[in-house]
């Protein structure tokens, strides 16, 4: 059973896909629950603005999915941050090596109707949910292409592999956010479903908070919640204070 949030004491970091919305066969096919934007607004207000959506997606994509809600966000695994709702998004500079890998990926011919190469600008994600049997080869290829560059790292998630600048993760997102108002001085609570969320949970735990794992599978999280549906119900109760 999850604890109730402390409106004046807790800061909430929420993964998006698989936590706030059900995972879809293709990332563009997700369906955002109709009540979610209002729920985010209400809960963010209750937490004094200390609610951030922390995703591998770009912040502008999160904004468009959750419009008209206003919220703090970290996108592209910690490479884009906006810790106050009215502020502009702060982005890191992409290394030149990413350009080389981008060209090699395009030249490799791995993209087809079932495998999608998504260029996020600061990172490149290859989605193979529709062709799971090709996952092993795709991950190996991405590792090979990124291997020569110390300033790039490879991140494998659920049916997606991503190449991105080294040194950024959901852990750095949480650490960065927790240094800033309105998050600083609060207890970080990180809710997520995937391997990349473990970094965020580890950082939240190190900063005196805890992680919540959505669904099955190994996790360092102190607490568990069953599904997206359960997350939304719990968040809704927290937003109303009962
Ligand atoms: Mg997720």
User: What pTM was computed for the model?
Assistant: 0.88
User: Do residues 73 and 53 touch, judged by C-beta distance below 8 A?
Assistant: yes
Question: CATH number for the domain including 34?
Answer: 3.40.50.1000
CA 75 to centroid of chain Cα atoms: 7
Same-domain check for residues 85 and 105: no
> Does 78 lie in the same domain as 174?
yes
For the chain, give the mean pLDDT.
95
Domain count, the chain: 2
Residues 36-61 have a mean pLDDT of 97
> Which among 165, 186, 218 is the end of a domain?
165
Does residue 205 carry a pLDDT above 90? yes
Q: Are 172 and 150 in contact (CB under 8 A)?
A: no
If one counts every other C-beta atom within 10 angstroms of the C-beta of residue 1, the result is 7
> How far apart, in whole angstroms, are the C-alpha atoms of residue 68 and residue 152?
34
User: Do 151 and 173 share a domain, yes or no?
Assistant: no
Give the pair of three-digit tokens for residue 58: 């770009």
Beta partners for residue 10, in sequence order: 187
CATH code of the domain covering residue 105: 3.30.70.1020
Distance from the alpha carbon of residue 219 to the mean position of ligand 1, in angstroms? 13
pLDDT band of residue 1 (cuts 50, 70, 90) is low
> Residue 182: pLDDT above 70?
yes
Question: Are residues 51 and 112 located together in one domain of the fold?
Answer: no
Out of 4, 8, 10, 15, the active site residue is 15
Give per-residue pLDDT as tens, 5-35. Answer: 999 999 999 999 999 999 998 888 999 999 9
Q: State yes or no: pLDDT of 2 exceeds 90.
A: no
Q: Are residues 51 and 109 in the same domain?
A: no
Considering the domain architecture, whether residues 126 and 229 belong to the same structural domain is answered as no
What number is the average pLDDT over the span 197-220? 97
Which residue's structure tokens are 């998630």? 157
In contact, 89 and 120? CB cutoff 8 Å: no
Residue 206 CA to ligand 1 centre (angstroms): 21
Q: How far apart are CA 85 and CA 62, in angstroms?
A: 13
Confirm whether 4 is domain-assigned.
no
Report if residue 1 sits inside a domain. no
Question: Annotated catalytic, 15?
Answer: yes
pLDDT at 52: 98
CA-nearest of 97, 62, 66 to 76 is 62
| One domain, residues 182 and 122 | no
Please check whether residues 152 and 198 belong to one and the same domain.
no
Domain limits for position 20: 10-91+169-240
Residues with CB under 5 A from ligand 1 (ion): 15, 17-18, 193-194
User: 84-141 pLDDT, tens per residue?
Assistant: 998 999 999 989 999 999 999 989 999 999 999 999 889 999 999 999 999 999 999 9
Asked whether residue 2 is domain-assigned, the answer is no
Q: Are residues 183 and 74 in the same domain?
A: yes
Same domain, 32 and 152: no
| Ligand 1 centroid to residue 54 C-alpha, Å | 9
Q: How far is the CA of 63 from the centre of ligand 1 (A)?
A: 17
Q: How far is the CA of 35 from the centre of ligand 1 (A)?
A: 19
Judge whether 199 and 190 are in contact, CB under 8 Å. no
Starting at the earlier edge strand, list the strands of the sheet with 160-165.
Answer: 116-119, 124-127, 160-165, 152-157
Among the candidates 149, 165, 181, a domain finishes at: 165
Checking phi first, is residue 155 left (phi over 0); if not, alpha (psi -120 to 50) or beta? beta
User: Confidence band (pLDDT; 50, 70, 90) for 241?
Assistant: confident
């Amino acid at each position: 059973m999850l604890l109730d949030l402390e409106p004046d004491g807790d800061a909430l970091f929420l993964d998006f896909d698989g936590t706030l919305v059900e995972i879809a066969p293709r990332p563009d096919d997700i369906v955002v629950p109709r009540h979610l934007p209002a729920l985010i607004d209400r809960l963010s207000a209750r937490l004094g603005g200390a609610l951030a959506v922390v995703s591998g997606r770009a912040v502008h994509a999160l904004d468009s999915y959750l419009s008209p809600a206003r919220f703090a966000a970290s996108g592209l695994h910690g490479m884009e941050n906006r810790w106050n709702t009215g502020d502009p998004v702060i982005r890191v500079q992409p290394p030149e090596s990413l350009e080389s890998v981008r060209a090699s990926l395009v030249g490799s011919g791995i993209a087809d109707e079932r495998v999608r190469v998504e260029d996020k600008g600061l990172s490149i994600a290859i989605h193979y949910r529709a062709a799971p049997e090709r996952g092993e080869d795709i991950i190996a290829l991405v590792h090979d292409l990124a291997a020569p560059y110390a300033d790039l790292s490879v991140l494998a998630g659920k049916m997606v592999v991503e190449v991105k600048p080294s040194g950024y993760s959901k852990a750095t997102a949480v650490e960065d956010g927790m240094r800033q108002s309105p998050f600083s001085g609060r207890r970080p609570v990180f809710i997520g479903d995937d391997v990349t969320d473990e970094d965020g949970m580890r950082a939240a735990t190190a900063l005196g908070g805890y992680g919540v794992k959505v669904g099955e599978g190994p996790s360092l999280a102190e607490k568990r919640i069953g599904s997206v549906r359960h997350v939304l119900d719990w968040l809704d109760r927290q937003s109303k204070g009962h």
